[in-house]
Structure 1
């Protein structure tokens, strides 16, 4: 029989609730899609807990604004931006090849859904599959 895992968190919990009381000083995190939405709030919570946070985003200009907002909100100036388009395997390879630091936390957050029409990547993959699965798979360390 398996034991059920129970947490104090539920549907109303926020990223800040999850890291409340956690010290992430000295930890490095990457948040894909960290420039907006859930990714932005996750990145803000991680930075607020002391982590160095890298926003991996498709639009670096918007990402830099998000990083500045996070720094202003948290006082943590170790928030940076790196370009990453998960639908583009060349972009994923550049991101991975350019990473030469320890990584403690990887939040595979970025994703798309319900595109109104079929779109394909340069590699011929359906866009949602390429972004939500192939890009994250290719960018996730295996050792």
Structure 2
């Protein structure tokens, strides 16, 4: 079993929603029930100072929440585009002649500092899917989004 954890440590006068902890436990081995798919992956990295520890003598980090949210949104948009392109290419090679959409996911996992960010992230992915789907599916599968068809994808502001 592998256990990984992280504890966010902030000064006592900091807003409570920034504090927290996260952990994951995984069974690792030849008969473990965890299956890691080796399919297409989409990643995005950027060198920014939205969350960093500039003072080695202090245990507290410096957080630029607005910049951090912008970077998260931009990374999601870029990762989604790369991932979908890779999957679409794989499907074309296999002779599958339909677009890759969110319906093809069994589940999604978001890392986020607060619940509203997860809702906004999923909304972005649905909107991106809507714009990519084309006019033939926009009226049925994405009912209610037709009014937004002239809008562009959100790519976030540059970090």
Q: Verify same fold: TM over 0.5.
A: no
Instruction: State which structure, 1 or 2, has the greater radius of gyration over its C-alpha atoms.
Output: 2
